[in-house]
Amino acid sequence: MIKKILGWLGKGLAAAIALVLLYQLWIFAHVLWWIDHNPGSTAFMEAGLARQQAKNPDAELRHKWVPYDRISIHLKRAIVAAEDAKFLEHEGFDVEGIQKAVEKNLKKGKLVAGGSTISQQLAKNLFLSGERSFIRKGQEAVITLMIEATWSKRRILEVYLNVIEWGNGIYGAEAAARRYYKTSAAKLNRDQAARMAAMVPNPRWYENNRGSRSYQRRVALIKRYMGYSQVPR
């Protein structure tokens, strides 16, 4: 009887491992495809659409893809300054940032900070949910390694700028530029770029609270450092 139970457990474990490996292969196939094909949607977009349609069944997302060269250099610099100052230097992970996040999490006794780089945020946006858990962070790390191993930094930033959320139902730099400044992503000036970059950590809240002190402080800080940002050509 014990041998049968152990046999069943062994088969169950093998099946579980096989499913995990198949899932990783499915993700990696998408990562390879997106080296030169643009994602039509992401996990975060699908979740956002479901959230919108729960209130209005006819709701649609605002999103339009634009190539890297048609995104303002000011926005590229502002995003790097705001989200990942070492973007061109690291290989997906900012060790110093992770150490600070771990210390903060230990103090709080739960996962409240992730020290995420642009590459990690992109991995999460493309494939994962917004929940905070150590399992999800582990999967995020695996996807980040896949992306960093196969994509150029230019491609990473291009996709990131085109898929991140910038408000309720608003995704990507072009839709956000049209929504907030009635202009294209290519024509965003320095001030507009800093203001858009400041929204990224909590876009749905900042959409209607851009007069808050926290937002204004963040905009000022981004303006101070964006001139030093190094971005892919």
Summarize the confidence of residues 63-87 as an average pLDDT.
97
- φ, ψ of residue 62 in degrees (nearest 5): -100, 115
Domain chopping of the chain, boundaries: 1-33, 34-226
**pTM for this one?**
0.88
Report the distance separating Cα 70 and Cα 191, nearest Å: 18
- In this prediction, residue 197 carries a pLDDT of 98
The residues, any chain, with a CB within 8 Å of residue 14's CB and separated by 6 or more, are: none
What does the mean pLDDT of the chain come to? 90
Tell the CATH topology of 34-226: Penicillin binding protein transpeptidase fold (1.10.3810)
Q: Answer whether residue 126 shows pLDDT above 90.
A: yes
